Amino acid sequence: MKETLIKEIKRVELKNPILIEGLPGLGLVGRITTRYLIKQLKAEKIAYLYSPHFPYYVLVGKKGSVRLPRGVFYAWKNESGANDLMFFTGDCQAQTIEGQYEVSNSILEFAKKYNVKTIITVGGYRMEVKDKPKVFAAATNQNLLKMALEAGANVSSVGNPIVGAAGLILGLAPFKNVEALCLLGETRGYLPDPQAAKSVLEVLFKLLNFSVDLADLEKEIVKAEKIIDRLKKVEEKRVLQAEEIKKERDKRITYIS
Amino acid sequence: MKETLIKEIKRVELKNPILIEGLPGLGLVGRITTRYLIKQLKAEKIAYLYSPHFPYYVLVGKKGSVRLPRGVFYAWKNESGANDLMFFTGDCQAQTIEGQYEVSNSILEFAKKYNVKTIITVGGYRMEVKDKPKVFAAATNQNLLKMALEAGANVSSVGNPIVGAAGLILGLAPFKNVEALCLLGETRGYLPDPQAAKSVLEVLFKLLNFSVDLADLEKEIVKAEKIIDRLKKVEEKRVLQAEEIKKERDKRITYIS
Amino acid sequence: MKETLIKEIKRVELKNPILIEGLPGLGLVGRITTRYLIKQLKAEKIAYLYSPHFPYYVLVGKKGSVRLPRGVFYAWKNESGANDLMFFTGDCQAQTIEGQYEVSNSILEFAKKYNVKTIITVGGYRMEVKDKPKVFAAATNQNLLKMALEAGANVSSVGNPIVGAAGLILGLAPFKNVEALCLLGETRGYLPDPQAAKSVLEVLFKLLNFSVDLADLEKEIVKAEKIIDRLKKVEEKRVLQAEEIKKERDKRITYIS
Amino acid sequence: MKETLIKEIKRVELKNPILIEGLPGLGLVGRITTRYLIKQLKAEKIAYLYSPHFPYYVLVGKKGSVRLPRGVFYAWKNESGANDLMFFTGDCQAQTIEGQYEVSNSILEFAKKYNVKTIITVGGYRMEVKDKPKVFAAATNQNLLKMALEAGANVSSVGNPIVGAAGLILGLAPFKNVEALCLLGETRGYLPDPQAAKSVLEVLFKLLNFSVDLADLEKEIVKAEKIIDRLKKVEEKRVLQAEEIKKERDKRITYIS
């Protein structure tokens, strides 16, 4: 394996497929979003992507099984709509600059094999979120962007680069005559953020005119909120203690001087 | 995209073209200089340069558009002079050692396609500037250097390497039978420095016997000076406060002992 | 040498060979284990592996001889059993991500040349060991894993990746239709750990139905324990001194306030 | 320039040439040694070596000339001895692991073109030197090593790797059927060390049965010693001041408590 390599498991027929890509990144928003869709839609594994630019270890699974870090393509036949869906998610991003270009290129090439004309990449956008996380959109094409805005997304602010595969796929798409849209959910970014994933999903539902049940995601959101509350309390306590210690110290110094 | 790639937009006829190159670097002097000329001369975009050695992100533009980091070649027909001009500027430098060599090589190869016989690279030179920034010159050819000195440049001091594309292009030029000159404007280097760009432009004007209106650049210089003044005041205040705190602390210690 | 390179010294006939791989890693467990077997079995050197991804130095041997860092393949004819053994050990691991994939791939390709159908990689597993170090197993194949568990190994916990060649060989083995098992001895990891190697050897003996005398290894274990005891005493003394100093300081502060 | 590249300037006839290699490294011993020989023997430039693994800058020379960092091969016809000499020195070492292998390989390949059968690499060996710096030797061949020991070198201690081209050339030489010897002069390593170079030269003279006048080197040694004396005095003063400050502080604390 000298280069990024795609291993097909199964060849399926897809009608006007759209590819949704989400790899690990800020708040794991991209990965949570795609994995949730894959699970709820019972999408089917069709190919693996391996790369010598992925980390040089194997992951250990249940029952002592092992496997290389990898990306996975899934397919879902949309009985009631105009577009079947493909998904791409995985364990990691490429670890080198050239690897990032190579992996994004391979994803695009595989999509082309399935005649994909539109790719939607999803991820997180670092922000001190206050209320419901917003979704920012950027696209290779103004029509596509307009549709995303009509589905509830906002225009991404100028100047902030979109890092990793979620961005590079958009950058490389025009070279392959593919249109691409990026949807980024606001997230603090340092913890898995199902709330941000929910915001992204809601835009996707309106945009692609389908939906899945969100009950399981809501449970994840409740769990995530509890973790954040606990961390907040730990932090508050730490700050209080630090203040006490400081006061004590100040007293002594005041006493001395 | 496995290697640096040039995508032509438009093929133009140029008479004895000279290429002026300026990528981001110290004080952004190279980029400010070339971009200012491009804008004032209304030079025409003729090609893009992409590279898997550029950062692995996309830039987000106005209205949610995106694009890969890239370099751009421009052309300008000089109605009244002997040499048409080409320009090369861009978003970034290559991020790896081999990438730096590859990108500089690609720039040279594209220039050769247009029969460019002389390249002028522009950039910054770190220095505690006192008055008007000087311009230092280095060249692959003593005639070219002499012309730069007659146009107001100074000989660059021995031993200081010229880092990045502005230097490598000169290093690689003899392999392609191209002559090259480097003009570096003195700059503190940590802020965009239109003042240094102005010094470089003045040498270019005399050297190439043309000029553009500098009114817009003067405005940038005034803005930049205001920013520096504000930063200086912040710094002075910080120093004063630090001194006060130190005095307070010294008093206590003196009191104790 | 642009790529990893295997240089055969001698071609031998092997019957159903199994390859045991152990490179330097945590507690040097992999290397101690394979080297001990090689020495006790008087296995024969059959090939060297060199790589431009190994460190860029040469090792100096006795009498001023030098050589590149390298891996070495050995062969041992098992007169009384069903499987001859091959070994692979070496001075170092590859220093780059792509190099790690390339070297593991080369090891697999060489094994294929000898019709190896099963590879066992050995290494260390970081843990605060209390009693006798346990051995964790992971495998590309549930039968192989079951055999390892019957030989005294435990199932490796989910989520901890296996880093370096010991892991990557398992990850890449299915691409070459080879089965692979990884045995990791518990180790604190910061010192050569013959005790962990012994645990791994005991599993190997049961699994492959052979054994070697462990007397020399026992001597190494005694030596290693003495070093650890000495380090512990140094550490305890350091802690005591630090406490004394702290007490002294506290006294003064209390006195002042 | 995608790979390391050798550009011949002049083709000369050489009789049984031996190549002496010395690039920048510890105490610049390798470079000082080779450059001194080149200058004293008035050896002739025959080829340049360029590499995309060298630093991505150009060096500025006298009168504003520029050039890429490079290595240079020289030749010297030895009228009175059995072996002509070739030299290789340069501005820098390769900056990447693969680059180190590639550059050392290119040096060997060029030597082969000239039918070089023996290469001597020279460099520094980090040591708290007390008297006259010793010279350590390591070789691909015991005869060659023996000759070096007879010429005054010592056997290099086991375990210390020889880093960079001086080492890698020895490691790669057997692949090309070339014999190689490495001579390392003891040096503290943090300053250019002509004294260590002198020790290496004395071994080379005996070994190769030639010599050059050392008067110019002696002047360099005197200069280097003055610099060291000055640095020592600065250091001593700094230590004294630090002690004074500490005493002052201790007084106060004692006073308080």
Q: Distance, in angstroms, between C93 CA and closest chain D CA?
A: 13
Question: Is the Cβ pair A66, C253 closer than 8 Å?
Answer: no
What local confidence, expressed as pLDDT, does residue C32 receive?
98
Q: pLDDT tens digits, residue range B121-149?
A: 999 999 888 889 999 999 999 999 999 99
C253 pLDDT band, cuts 50/70/90, is low
- Taking the Cβ of residue D255 and every Cβ of chain C, the question of whether any pair is shorter than 8 Å is answered with no
Q: pLDDT tens digits, residue range D156-171?
A: 876 789 999 999 999 9
Question: Is the Cβ pair B170, D63 closer than 8 Å?
Answer: no
What local confidence, expressed as pLDDT, does residue D218 receive?
97
- Rounded to two decimals, the ipTM of the complex is 0.88
Whether the pLDDT of residue B37 is over 90: the answer is yes
Q: pLDDT tens digits, residue range B163-195?
A: 999 999 999 999 999 999 999 999 998 899 999
What local confidence, expressed as pLDDT, does residue A257 receive?
46
Average pLDDT over residues A111-140: 94
Q: pLDDT tens digits, residue range C22-55?
A: 999 999 999 999 999 999 999 999 999 999 999 9
Output the CA–CA distances (angstroms, integers) from residue B226 to B231, B237, C31, D237, in the order listed: 9, 17, 64, 44
Output the CA–CA distances (angstroms, integers) from residue B78 to B16, B42, B47, B180, C234, in the order listed: 10, 11, 19, 20, 79
Give the pair of three-digit tokens for residue C236: 């305890």
What local confidence, expressed as pLDDT, does residue D257 receive?
45
- Taking the Cβ of residue B147 and every Cβ of chain A, the question of whether any pair is shorter than 8 Å is answered with no
C257 pLDDT band, cuts 50/70/90, is very low
Q: What is the mean pLDDT of chain C?
A: 93
Q: What are phi and psi of B43, to 5 degrees?
A: -65, 155
Average pLDDT over residues B246-255: 66
Q: pLDDT tens digits, residue range D49-72?
A: 999 999 999 999 988 999 999 999
Give the pair of three-digit tokens for residue B199: 């010094």
Closest-CA residue to A205 (of A33, A21, A42)? A33
Catalogue the E-assigned strands of C93-217: 118-126, 135-139, 154-155, 162-163, 179-187
What local confidence, expressed as pLDDT, does residue C130 receive?
81
Question: Is the Cβ pair D168, C58 closer than 8 Å?
Answer: yes
Alpha-carbon gap, residue A169 to A180, rounded angstroms: 8
Whether the pLDDT of residue B235 is over 90: the answer is no
B253 pLDDT band, cuts 50/70/90, is low
Global confidence as pTM: 0.89
Whether the pLDDT of residue D256 is over 80: the answer is no
Average pLDDT over residues C103-117: 98
Q: pLDDT tens digits, residue range D234-251?
A: 888 888 888 887 777 666
Residues of D whose CB is below 8 A from B159: 59-60
What local confidence, expressed as pLDDT, does residue D121 receive?
98
Residues of B whose CB is below 8 A from D57: 161-164, 167-168, 171
Alpha-carbon gap, residue B99 to B54, rounded angstroms: 8
Q: pLDDT tens digits, residue range C186-225?
A: 999 889 999 999 999 999 999 999 999 999 999 999 999 9
Q: What are phi and psi of C16, to 5 degrees?
A: 40, 55
What local confidence, expressed as pLDDT, does residue B254 receive?
54
Average pLDDT over residues A107-124: 98
Q: Which residue of C has its CA nearest to D161?
A: C59
Element (H, E) at D162: strand D162-163
Q: pLDDT tens digits, residue range A7-19?
A: 999 999 999 999 9
What local confidence, expressed as pLDDT, does residue A243 receive?
82
Q: For the purposes of burial, counting CB atoms within 10 Å of the CB of D137, is it exposed (0-12), middle (13-18) or buried (19 or more)?
A: buried
Q: Which residue of B has its CA nearest to D69?
A: B171
Residues of C whose CB is below 8 A from A248: none
What local confidence, expressed as pLDDT, does residue D160 receive?
82
Q: pLDDT tens digits, residue range B56-70?
A: 999 999 889 999 999
Q: Are strands A179-187 and A118-126 parallel, antiparallel or unpaired?
A: parallel
Q: What is the CA radius of gyration of chain D?
A: 21
Among D121, D136, D168, D255, most C C-beta atoms within 10 A, so best to mutate, is D168
Q: What is the mean pLDDT of chain D?
A: 93
Average pLDDT over residues D185-195: 93
C248 pLDDT band, cuts 50/70/90, is confident
High-pLDDT (> 90) share of chain B, %: 81
- Taking the Cβ of residue C141 and every Cβ of chain D, the question of whether any pair is shorter than 8 Å is answered with no
What local confidence, expressed as pLDDT, does residue A239 receive?
85
D252 pLDDT band, cuts 50/70/90, is low
Could you write out the DSSP letters of every residue in B131-156?
A: SSPPEEEEESSHHHHHHHHHTT-EEP
C254 pLDDT band, cuts 50/70/90, is low
What local confidence, expressed as pLDDT, does residue D253 receive?
56
